[in-house]
Amino acid sequence: MRTRADLLGWIGLAGRLYLGFVFLAAGLAKLPEPAITEQAVRGYQLLPWQLAPAYAIAMPIAEIVLGALLILGLFTRTAAVATALGLCSFLVGITSAWARGLNIDCGCFGGGGASADPAYLADTFRDLGWLAIAVYLILVRRTKLALDNLLFRRVTPSEEDYSESSKKTELGSSA
Amino acid sequence: MWYVVGLVAVSVAVLALGVWFVRREIRDEVSSPPVLWAGYAVVAAFVVFGVLRTSWVVLS
């Protein structure tokens, strides 16, 4: 029997897989090219100059880890919070570059740096869409086919009732 | 200037929604209150730092 929670869970699974593969693809695209990613990070002129190399290495690794966690459904809500924070930082980076009149490519899937034709509006709406998915994953408590469901199984009231009644039955039968 | 005003307004709204979310999770006994408030503090610190840094860069 299909319930509302089931439906929300299946939608959550779809969101998890989509967002997970997006982050995995973004991380894998940037990981082999730290110098280009560093150039992209410096293009935003937001972080201190010395932090750019470390950020250019840490960000793809974080994206790959978060992507894997979302796909597996492991620590889903924590991963979704981290993903939402990451997307918020990307949104702030893109919109602040736009507000300051910089002409850069977002470098979200590799590349980056100066660009004659920046796509700030499209990048902003795309990231807002992904942020909406991350927020959904934070709000919905369970998604389907997630490792969380196996590892952190919660005892529902009905199960408690069942175990209590079964205890009574056992006591009754033994008496 | 208007960008910073908007950024601060959105951030305050996000932090307020975060308080609502944490209180909902505590009410429904999803996790223990210290863990939830500690998580909220980490997120809030990240948001506040991000807003301060971005505001500084945009205004300077």
In A47-85, which positions are buried (b, 16+ CB within 10 angstroms) versus exposed (e)? beeeebeebbeebbebbbebbebbbbbbbbbebbbbbbb
- A102 to chain B, any CB pair closer than 8 A? The answer is no
Query: Does the interface predicted TM-score (ipTM) exceed 0.85?
Result: yes
Q: How far apart are CA A84 and CA A130, in angstroms?
A: 8
Residues of chain A found within 8 Å of residue B57, distances taken between Cβ atoms: 45-46, 96, 100
Range of the domain at B9: 2-59
Segment A43-53 mean pLDDT: 92
Residue B17 tokens read as 């929604």
- B15 to chain A, any CB pair closer than 8 A? The answer is no
Q: How many domains does chain B have?
A: 1
**pLDDT digit string, tens, across residues A75-92:** 999 999 999 999 999 999
Q: Of B34, B38, B30, give the one whose Cα is nearest residue A142.
A: B30
**pLDDT digit string, tens, across residues A108-151:** 998 878 888 889 999 999 999 999 999 999 999 889 999 999 99
Q: How far apart are CA A174 and CA B50, in angstroms?
A: 65
Chain A residue whose CA is closest to B53: A46
Q: Which of A96, A138, A139 sits opposite B58 (nearest CB)?
A: A96
- A132 to chain B, any CB pair closer than 8 A? The answer is no
Please give the pLDDT value at position A170: 44
